[in-house]
Structure 1
Amino acid sequence: MDDLARLAALNGVATTYQPAEDVTVRVPESTVAAVLRRLGADTDTPESVRAHLAAAEHEAAQRLLPRVLVWWAGSRAPAELGALPPGTRIRLDLEDGGVTEAAAGSPGAAAGLQEAFGGPPGSRGGPSGQPPLGVHRMRAEAPDGRTATATLIVAPDRAPAAPGRTHGLLVQLYSLLSERSWGMGDLGDLAELARWAGRVHGAGFIQVNPLHAAVPGTPTDPSPYRPSSRRFPDPVHLRIEDVPECAAGPNRAALTELADRGGELRREVLEKGALIDRDAVWALKRAALELLYAVPRTPEREAAYGRFRAEQGAELDRHAAWCAAHAGEDPQTRADFHRWLVWLTDTQLVAAQRAAKEAGMAVGIVHDLAVGVHPEGSDASGSEHYAEGVSVGAPPDAFNARGQDWGLPPWRPDRLAAGGYEPFRALLRGVFRYAGALRIDHVMGLFRLWWIPEGAPPAEGAYVSYDGEAMLALLVLEAHRAGALVIGEDLGTVQPGVRQALARRGVLGTSVLWFERDWGGDGEPLEAERWRSDCLATATTHDLPPTAAKLAGAHVELRDRLGLLTRPLERERAEDAADTARWLDVLEDLGLDTKDEEAAVRALYGFLLRTPARLVGVWLPDAVGDRRPQNLPGTWDQYPNWRLPVADAEGRPLTLEALAASPRANSLLSAVRDGG
């Protein structure tokens, strides 16, 4: 192994990757060198590589402890503690402010710590001989004078488990307009959908798209997966009439006029074929919120706002200042307005989860955590935790020969570890405030990400490893504290062992019907009883055609019209039709009715109910026969991604009220409720 490869290994940069089980591809040396530079290494000359390598190897050899240690509840102490020299003194500063000291004897510090935390389960420590759950700070001093500090994560053995089998809905919130919406679905609509689905159809959850704060623009990027901030939500989702100051405000005429204009936006989408225009919606809502911000808050409301500001601290201040500056305002005088918007949105998100639980939902609202953020958004701007001059994507594979560049800056694993993963912890705590469950987009990113140096094509990237155990431990810890489930989106190429590691810690996977085949055998559709149980099972997703479109082959025709096919149309049609026909044969062999499109959709969900999957998700557009995908990967302005309302089989947009009254929707959801 040469010096560059050794330096790459020390920094978790892979020099090869496997797009298929029997194929290994070498990463170009120029890519390895560029990625290492983004991690702070000097790779300009062989001499600088050699010098940096020598320094890194010396630091690694001298270090008493790694920067982060994980101690799972009920497990033995981390092996690194047992390897400390006898006589090493350990000081553990607990998360709750307590302090414990211990000495390493034979076989090392592990015994000393276990003795220090001895006692029955339920005492100050966790299980006998273990520190309490939390993120603690450890300092070690060896007899030879060497010292080290480390973050100790003590996490539950597993994330909270799903409460038996339950079903729910998957929906892009912006697409669900009610008769009260101002041009796009809002948090009031989410609460109302939860009440109807829970009370009428016994649904246990509703999964929504990421509701993260977007980067304002002209126009604003409508994709919810490239936000300004994952830490804070977007106030465009607010239901204005549900803000308490709305009822007490003196500017009734102005608010009424804005509401009327919001109603016109709604009618343009529902009745005139217009696309959802979040910029137009936000212009009206922002004007209304400016009026409401001037309304004096009650003492109770003011106290609640003060508590929120104190809890969210400097990160909220930084985000609010960025929002003000990005709007061309003075952060000194206008940041509080943007802090207040975050608080309002948080309160309505909490209210939506409360409405879901009150409607009898076992889980409630499943929020979606995007894989990254916009490089110029509030999370990344001025943050040392994001790598510069590099973006995240995916290598070439069987589905995309050129690879993908998502334009998202990655977190630097070295700086995350050095800071005890505080940005990740704060992100999780923020989202879990109002989530019954959290879906992690591209959950494999907890373990590694494909880094693409600036100016390089997606194929010339490299995998960079993260401390997957540490990030998984923090995810399980925060989920435990929130009492929330965790669902990992683990579709596509997955590093060996990752699915097993996630399942071991109670993180559910994602299984999509069309992809579930016996890939290790004959390639035929996987029998229902052979599906994994620890997953969310569904027929489709926001990036795939709705089920009615798949059954009719409409998605192939759409991609042909847009010039997206890479093979002859007739070949695409034939292969897609054969795939669909094979699944219909499976359904018919099981005695499920597939006589027409509506029956076939119902049969596919009936099949999902025959699997052991703990969660079964119904894509809401499937309930009404909508054939239009919400997102068509590989397109930008050729297709109205993220801007379509839910529509019926003829493409007529539907309100939430019309959907709730739809015989087709009620038939499907009743069948799912009753077990197919």
Structure 2
Amino acid sequence: MIRSSLDMFMELKAIDPNFVDAWGKPAVVSEENIKNLINKMGHDTSDETQLQNHYHEQERLHWLSLLPPVTVAQQADSYIIDICLPIDFVTDALIYQITTEDKKQIKQNIVATDFDLVAVNEISEIEFQCYQVALKVDLPQGYHLLEVFEKGNEEALTSMSFIITPSACFTPKAMQEGKKIWGSSVQLYCIKSENNWGIGDFSDLKVLLQKTADHGGDFIGLNPIHALFPAQPNNASPYSPSSRKWLNVLYTDLTNVAEFKSDQALQSTVNSPEFNDKLSSLRDSQWVDYQGVTELKLAILRTLFSTLNKGDKNTEKRLSAFNEYVALKGDALLQQAAYDALQFKFLAEDESLWGWPVWPEAFHAYQSEASQTWIEDNKQEVLFWCYCQWVTELQLEEADQLAKSLGMTLGIYRDLAVGVGKGSSEIWANHSVYCEEISVGAPPDILGPLGQSWGLPPMSPDQLYKSAYQPFIELLQSNMSHCGALRIDHVMALLRLWWVPDNATAEAGAYIYYPVQDLLNLLALESQRNQCLVIGEDLGTVPEGIDVLLEEAGVYSYKVFFFEQADDGGYISPAHYKNQAMAALSTHDMPTIKGYWHCDDLYLGKELGLYPDAEALAVLMENRVYCKQQILNSLHGHDSLPVAYNRDATQTGMDQTLNFALQTHLAKGTSALLSLQLEDFLEMEVPVNVPGTSDEYRNWQRKLSHNIEQIFDNEQIKTLLDNLTTARNEAVK
């Protein structure tokens, strides 16, 4: 293939073969890998003519569109828009009309002097000229419609979405004034309690919020609480969901649903010895029994839905509220509900029909005639799954209201996964938005020496732009609801994503770039509207300059202590962390503090075959010993450990003194936010997730070692929490 053709196509699709790897070395994606990626995007790289034709067709469509589908701009006194016009229109009197989000209309003439010619092109013997036009108009922030008319003609020549945004994301006033806050993070499903049904729920979350606030904490950080696959309970990764717009219904505390409280017969069933035996078995397990929990909860949810639909005066008001919810949420809710219903239907017929890719072809899309007919014929079943979402969202809202009533600075801190699974409802309902033969992941880095492919098809930058970013906007709106902060997993996705073709290994991918400034502006708009602070998980292979963009956009960085090393190998003092950041000791993708210190993650990695050879493991082991010594040196150097505490890492095991000293040491730092894991309060060893594994390890199943009621009754832990609050208060000075 002629290089110029390939280069043109790569530019069109924002493919960059050059990047700097996690170790700071320049890397280049091979031409073979680039071609393979393009093939999986649906274009034949062996046919140069086809590539050229596609390129020129996209160019032609650009000129014929007159206006782009969307323009996103930070609020200002004037705005520059691009407009392409046939030469015959250039001398005509034109009018632009802006219909604001609140339905106000602004009209102005576009006079000849407003046009700044920037390009000329000829399509089908018609000359088009592209202009930049300065619009001097006072616009509120929000989602507006801009249309262009010929004077005297009531039909618009063209239109576009015109989105006006703030310049930066929201930060609470207390933090703007210098308050340093702390909170704990937890995988919600891991929580053990005296009352839950074998999986953490939103009532457990309320307890955590209350107890944390009592000890001076300001937030609880959660794993993604996205909708998973009730028909396939063991597909439990919160980072590979069915939909990021809806919730995991297993987090509902069924005993706290209004229908349960009014159903005496159901209460008797749940209080029976037989039922309590089931609950005890689910609660006592070291690992979450997703199959058992799901079967139990769905059976009760169906009874609750029947109670709602009795049609008596006791349920009339409640049923009316449910119907209002269904109407308000519209087609997006029906998509999720219908998918859950259909997945149960097909799996009941054939266990191999796990998701839409293997369903009968007529059902491969939500919009298909077969799907719509089935939905119409099975309204009550679809409404049942709408009900599951409703009661779950109500309980999340209650938890959020509790956090606010407690005066917590952030309260609930949610997590937005980077994508959805291939067999997800989100793709089933939005095929055009996703590149389905590609997975996002990461090139080889410290956490994943072989690279990572997460099995999550990426959104197409082209389709996002053509849809005026609506899928992205809806994601933000859903995930900024009922919380005070949102963590964006792999925040570099706003700039670029590592795309891995389905037929290739993780290292054989390439970076695809996204319109980062537009996405950051949209993030700022929804952040301010929802009063939701934004934290960007910026670990791994981080391109130069993205840190500046994120900081200017008001996005808080993510500083993990174990990665914050200076050039000489020593650990950077938390006193030197930047303010606009959240500090943490560990994450869900890393070992616990105790596991790290005892190298349990490295031994487990060896057992699971995660390292290319013995030499790679030996290097990691040697580095770990060195890092542990540097950590001890740093803690002693900052007087964070007793003077008499052992200074030789090779002779020092992880004990409570060292564990709690590490956490308090980080609390003294200058980052505005501090997040510590509940499992580290409990000095646990077993990780919740091992990156790069699926069936090799029981990811996303490990529970906490103690009930949450016991955690906050533990005197040593209570002292730790009080010390964290004191350290945070002193860090302000």
**In 1, distance between residues paired with 2:38 and 2:77?**
35
From the superposition, tell whether residues 564 and 53 of structure 1 become closer, same or farther in structure 2 (CA, over 3 Å): closer
2:307 is matched with which residue?
A: 295
Query: Are 2:447 and 1:403 equivalent residues in the alignment?
Result: no
From the superposition, tell whether residues 56 and 560 of structure 1 become closer, same or farther in structure 2 (CA, over 3 Å): closer
From the superposition, tell whether residues 592 and 264 of structure 1 become closer, same or farther in structure 2 (CA, over 3 Å): same
Q: Look up the equivalent residue of 1:152 and give its one-letter code.
A: F
1:674 counterpart SS class: helix
2:657 is matched with which residue?
A: 599
2:433 counterpart SS class: coil
CA contact (8 A) 2:591 2:685 kept: yes
After superposition, give the CA deviation of every residue in 1:158-200 in whole Å (9 maximum; x if it has no partner). Answer: 111143211101001111111001011111100111011112x
1:298 counterpart SS class: helix
1:360 is matched with which residue?
A: 407
Counterpart of 1:182 (choices 169, 191, 197) is 197
Counterpart of 2:95 (choices 86, 89, 95) is 89
**In 2, distance between residues paired with 1:503 and 1:299?**
50
**Map 1:225-374 → 2, pairs under 5 A:** 225-252=239-266, 255-256=269-270, 261=275, 264-267=278-281, 269-270=283-284, 273-296=285-308, 298-328=315-345, 331=375, 332-333=378-379, 334-374=381-421
**In 2, distance between residues paired with 1:405 and 1:73?**
38
Q: Look up the equivalent residue of 2:244 and give its one-letter code.
A: R
1:674 is matched with which residue?
A: 726
1:178 counterpart SS class: coil
From the superposition, tell whether residues 14 and 385 of structure 1 become closer, same or farther in structure 2 (CA, over 3 Å): same
- Return the offset for 1:64: 4.5
- Return the offset for 1:477: 1.1
2:238 counterpart SS class: coil
CA contact (8 A) 2:65 2:84 kept: no
- Return the offset for 1:576: 0.9
| Same amino acid, percent of matched pairs | 29
1:98 is matched with which residue?
A: 104
- Return the offset for 1:67: 3.1
Query: Are 2:238 and 1:208 equivalent residues in the alignment?
Result: no
Counterpart of 1:53 (choices 33, 43, 55) is 55
Query: Are 2:632 and 1:630 equivalent residues in the alignment?
Result: no
From the superposition, tell whether residues 570 and 663 of structure 1 become closer, same or farther in structure 2 (CA, over 3 Å): farther
From the superposition, tell whether residues 215 and 258 of structure 1 become closer, same or farther in structure 2 (CA, over 3 Å): farther
1:532 is matched with which residue?
A: 578
**In 2, distance between residues paired with 1:26 and 1:560?**
29
2:360 is matched with which residue?
A: none
CA contact (8 A) 2:82 2:133 kept: no
2:542 is matched with which residue?
A: 494
1:675 counterpart SS class: helix
CA contact (8 A) 2:101 2:144 kept: yes
**In 1, distance between residues paired with 2:41 and 2:158?**
22
Q: Look up the equivalent residue of 1:196 and give its one-letter code.
A: K
From the superposition, tell whether residues 608 and 451 of structure 1 become closer, same or farther in structure 2 (CA, over 3 Å): same
CA contact (8 A) 1:169 1:617 kept: yes
Counterpart of 1:158 (choices 162, 165, 168) is 168
Structure 2 length-normalised TM: 0.83
- Return the offset for 1:554: 3.3
Query: Are 2:564 and 1:510 equivalent residues in the alignment?
Result: no
1:388 is matched with which residue?
A: 436
1:376 is matched with which residue?
A: 423
1:304 counterpart SS class: helix
From the superposition, tell whether residues 21 and 563 of structure 1 become closer, same or farther in structure 2 (CA, over 3 Å): closer
My pick for the range that moved more, 638-647 or 78-87, is 78-87
**In 1, distance between residues paired with 2:479 and 2:24?**
40
CA contact (8 A) 1:70 1:78 kept: no
2:716 is matched with which residue?
A: 664
1:122 is matched with which residue?
A: none
2:731 is matched with which residue?
A: none
2:128 is matched with which residue?
A: none
CA contact (8 A) 2:438 2:458 kept: yes
Q: Look up the equivalent residue of 2:409 and give its one-letter code.
A: A
CA contact (8 A) 2:22 2:542 kept: no
- Return the offset for 1:616: 0.5
CA contact (8 A) 2:196 2:283 kept: no
**Map 1:415-564 → 2, pairs under 5 A:** 415-518=463-566, 521-564=567-610
CA contact (8 A) 1:12 1:466 kept: yes
Work out which of the two has the higher radius of gyration on C-alpha atoms and give 1 or 2.
2
**Map 1:633-644 → 2, pairs under 5 A:** 633-644=691-702
- Return the offset for 1:255: 3.5
CA contact (8 A) 1:546 1:627 kept: yes
From the superposition, tell whether residues 262 and 339 of structure 1 become closer, same or farther in structure 2 (CA, over 3 Å): farther
My pick for the range that moved more, 14-23 or 608-617, is 14-23
Counterpart of 1:198 (choices 213, 216, 224) is 213
- Return the offset for 1:398: 5.1
Query: Are 2:628 and 1:580 equivalent residues in the alignment?
Result: yes
CA contact (8 A) 1:195 1:359 kept: yes
My pick for the range that moved more, 464-473 or 284-293, is 464-473
Query: Are 2:142 and 1:134 equivalent residues in the alignment?
Result: yes
Q: Look up the equivalent residue of 1:172 and give its one-letter code.
A: Q
- Return the offset for 1:141: 5.8
**In 2, distance between residues paired with 1:289 and 1:386?**
33
My pick for the range that moved more, 629-638 or 221-230, is 629-638
From the superposition, tell whether residues 591 and 149 of structure 1 become closer, same or farther in structure 2 (CA, over 3 Å): same
CA contact (8 A) 1:370 1:441 kept: yes
**In 2, distance between residues paired with 1:636 and 1:424?**
28
- Return the offset for 1:436: 1.2
Structure 2: stretches of 5+ with no match in the other structure: 117-131, 309-313, 347-373, 646-653, 729-733
- Return the offset for 1:61: 5.5
My pick for the range that moved more, 88-97 or 538-547, is 88-97
CA contact (8 A) 2:15 2:513 kept: yes
Q: Look up the equivalent residue of 1:157 and give its one-letter code.
A: S
**In 1, distance between residues paired with 2:673 and 2:280?**
33
- Return the offset for 1:468: 1.5
From the superposition, tell whether residues 79 and 342 of structure 1 become closer, same or farther in structure 2 (CA, over 3 Å): same
**In 2, distance between residues paired with 1:670 and 1:344?**
35
**In 1, distance between residues paired with 2:74 and 2:471?**
21
CA contact (8 A) 2:242 2:424 kept: yes
1:608 is matched with which residue?
A: 666
- Return the offset for 1:359: 2.3
1:3 is matched with which residue?
A: 5
Q: Look up the equivalent residue of 1:104 and give its one-letter code.
A: I
- Return the offset for 1:135: 1.7
After superposition, give the CA deviation of every residue in 1:603-654 in whole Å (9 maximum; x if it has no partner). Answer: 222222232111101111111111111111122333221111112xxxxxx1
From the superposition, tell whether residues 505 and 88 of structure 1 become closer, same or farther in structure 2 (CA, over 3 Å): farther
2:362 is matched with which residue?
A: none
CA contact (8 A) 1:208 1:366 kept: yes
CA contact (8 A) 2:198 2:293 kept: yes
**In 1, distance between residues paired with 2:23 and 2:60?**
36
CA contact (8 A) 1:93 1:100 kept: yes
CA contact (8 A) 1:545 1:629 kept: yes
- Return the offset for 1:424: 1.7
CA contact (8 A) 1:269 1:645 kept: no
CA-atom RMSD in angstroms: 2.8
User: How many residues align structurally?
Assistant: 650
After superposition, give the CA deviation of every residue in 1:365-422 in whole Å (9 maximum; x if it has no partner). Answer: 0011111001111111141211121111112345534321111111111111111121
Structure 1: stretches of 5+ with no match in the other structure: 118-128, 648-653
My pick for the range that moved more, 630-639 or 385-394, is 630-639
**In 1, distance between residues paired with 2:576 and 2:13?**
39
1:672 counterpart SS class: helix
1:480 counterpart SS class: helix
Q: Look up the equivalent residue of 1:340 and give its one-letter code.
A: Y
Query: Are 2:220 and 1:220 equivalent residues in the alignment?
Result: no
